[in-house]
Amino acid sequence: MYKVLNNDLIKEYIDGTPQIRSLLLEDNETINKLDVSEIGDGNLNFVYIIKSAKKSFILKQAVPFLRCVGEEYPLSRIRMTFEIEALRIEKEICPSFVPEIYYDSKDMSLVVMQNLDSHKILRGEMINRETFPLLSKHISTFLADTLFYTTDFYLSSAQKKDNVKKFINKELCKITEDFIFTHPYEENKTNEYSPKLDMREVKKFRESLEVKKAVAKMRYKFMTNAQALLHGDLHTGSIMLNKDETYVIDPEFAFYGPIGFDVGIYLANLVMSYFSLEKNENSYRDYVRGMIKDTWDMFASKFKANMLENEKKLKSLQWNYPKGMEHFESYTDDYIKDIFDDSVGFMACEMFRRTVGLAKVADIADIEDLERRARIENKILKCASKLITSKYSQIDEIIDEIERYATF
Ligand code: SR1
Ligand code: MG
């Protein structure tokens, strides 16, 4: 039966659950030998690290409300079931980028997994100006593979539809629909503005026909375009890494949606880190610019390779004629261009919501000089308005645009 755990109840729970007790303790050892601490700083769940002399693991539990708001915002615990199912699929596709799961309980809405104790959260690492030479290679592979091997291009028609049904993640999709695509563009009590933010800038994008129509289009795509199984919340707080390894965590928002959503959310978080840099941080600026470019370029070429390799294997009748592969390649290029356009649109939506919505990014929210913070936020809002209302054909144009708005 479900109950919300705390430091003491976790020990009792482990004592009564042989599958996880045996990971930590010998039969004759007492549960008091365990060290339990809550380390969660996310918006939704509670995360504990549990250590014994021999091992440690992470226990993550969903509670029946939204953690960052409190019990007055009920949220069903089913999100943990989506997280567990998504972790399993992602692990199968990308074993080296997804933590090991040791145990799960849908009744208790919890998962017990690998403690990534030699890894840190990417957002914090970027705030500390750390660099990771393998990150873009790893993340672009995670994106290209999870987002290709869950599409209709790879799965059978029936399997894809079963997956779509399995991942009808109504409540967390509604959170995204509200907090990314709705509330930031209206007067809403959940919005939060930094004290010195120029509210004229907020009014401007909220009352721009072009911006409102473009956001409405992205919202509708998010709700209807079931292309692939998305992570659904791939910001820099959902990645743990060190110089050699990269892990993607927290896929509770997983559902079948537009591929550009995962790509765009990740890129937007790099862009916001870029905007947060000080004038003299030239080399880190080059590094972040390189991350944006490499992530997109490597994602696009790996996704294309997946498409072509798979089509060759299947030799489907549709393209089985002398110029067929050439035509399929051209179709693939068009498909990837659509993903690019979507990624830019979703990137802009994430920039708006992290500036005026409830959930901020520490890269900017932790800037103590409030005048400087507001100046950066104004630039982000202007840049997001431009990105979402313009047409681009390649990533370098996006990077140039961002640079123009960041104006150091
Ligand atoms: C209101 S919940 C805020 C956000 O936390 C998660 O990480 C998602 O990004 C969600 O939109
Ligand atoms: Mg999360």
The predicted-structure confidence for 174-193, as pLDDT tens digits, reads as follows 999 999 999 999 999 999 99
- pTM, full prediction: 0.96
**pLDDT in the model for residue 313:** 82
> Where do you find CATH 3.30.200.20 in the chain?
7-114
To the question of domain 7-114 being in CATH 3.30.200.20, the answer is yes
> Which H or E run contains 354?
helix 324-356
CA distance 356 to 188: 10
Mutate to test the pocket of ligand 1, among 41, 44, 266 (most ligand atoms within 8 A of CB): 44
What is the dihedral sign for C-alpha 115, 117, 119, 124? positive
For ligand 2, the distance from its centroid to the CA atom of residue 145, given in whole angstroms, is 21
Nearest CA to ligand 1 atom 9: 233
| Structural contact between residues 355 and 380, judged by C-beta atoms closer than 8 angstroms | yes
Ligand 1 pocket, residue 277 CB under 6 Å: no
Centre of ligand 2 to C-alpha 42, Å, is 6
Mutate to test the pocket of ligand 1, among 175, 191, 239, 360 (most ligand atoms within 8 A of CB): 175
Structure tokens that stand for 295 in this block: 């992530």
Q: Which ligand is nearest to the CA of 251?
A: 2
43: Cβ below 6 Å to ligand 1?
yes
**Mean pLDDT across the chain, nearest whole number?**
96
In short, whether 135's Cβ falls inside 6 Å of ligand 1 is no
Closest CA to 180 of 247, 258, 64: 258
How far is residue 215's CA from residue 389's CA, in Å, rounded to a whole number? 9
Q: Phi/psi class of residue 247: alpha, beta or left (left: φ > 0; alpha: ψ in -120 to 50)?
A: beta
For CATH 3.90.1200.10, list the domain ranges present in the chain: 120-407
Atom of ligand 1 nearest to the CA of 190: 1
The answer, yes or no, to whether residue 315 has pLDDT greater than 80, is no
Q: Which ligand is nearest to the CA of 43?
A: 1
pLDDT tens digits, one per residue of 320-376? 899 999 999 999 999 999 999 999 999 999 999 999 999 999 999 999 999 999 999
What six digits make up the tokens of 376?
A: 């950066």
- Which CATH number among 3.90.1200.10, 3.40.50.1220, 1.20.1260.10, 3.40.50.1370 corresponds to the domain 120-407? 3.90.1200.10
Sign of CA dihedral 237, 177, 85, 13: positive
* Cβ 360 under 6 angstroms from ligand 1: no
pLDDT at residue number 72:
93
Closest CA to 119 of 203, 242, 34, 221: 242
Does pLDDT of 312 surpass 90? no
Atom of ligand 1 nearest to the CA of 250: 7
State if residue 62 touches ligand 1 by the CB under 6 angstroms criterion. no
Most ligand 1 atoms within 8 A of CB, residue of 47, 233, 354, 361 to mutate: 233
- pLDDT tens-digit map of 258-296: 999 999 999 999 999 999 999 999 999 999 999 999 999
173 lines ligand 1 (CB under 6 A): no
| Half-sphere exposure of residue 365: CA atoms within 13 angstroms, side-chain side | 16
CB-based burial, 264-278: b 16+ in 10 Å, e otherwise: bbbbbbbbbbbbbbe
